[in-house]
């Protein structure tokens, strides 16, 4: 009985940590995309200043 409870607890913890890992990966990807967009727009802005 206690063993089954422990296994269920481990399964719950594993699924929770899996969801947390997925959320962290999504946040990291979003941050990378935002940095790429900001850097590319900054590059365009700086190059247009130098062209003018």
pLDDT, tens digit, for every residue of 3-20? 888 889 888 888 888 999
CA 29 from chain centre, in angstroms, equals 5
Ranges 2-6, 32-36, 38-42, most confident = 32-36
The CA distance from 48 to 41, in Å, is 11
Domain span holding position 45 = 24-52
Residue, of 6 and 22, whose pLDDT is higher: 22
19 falls within a domain:
no
The CA distance from 52 to 47, in Å, is 9
Q: Is residue 37 pLDDT above 90, yes or no?
A: yes
32 falls within a domain:
yes
5 falls within a domain:
no
45 falls within a domain:
yes
pLDDT at residue 33 in the model: 97
**pTM for the full predicted model:** 0.60
Radius of gyration, alpha carbons of the chain: 22
For residue 22 the two structure tokens come to 């997925």
């Amino acid at each position: 009985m206690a063993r089954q409870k422990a296994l269920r607890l481990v399964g719950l913890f594993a699924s929770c940590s899996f969801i947390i890992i997925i959320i962290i990966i999504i946040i990291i990807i979003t941050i990378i995309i935002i940095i790429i967009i900001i850097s590319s727009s900054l590059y365009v802005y700086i190059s247009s200043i130098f062209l003018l």
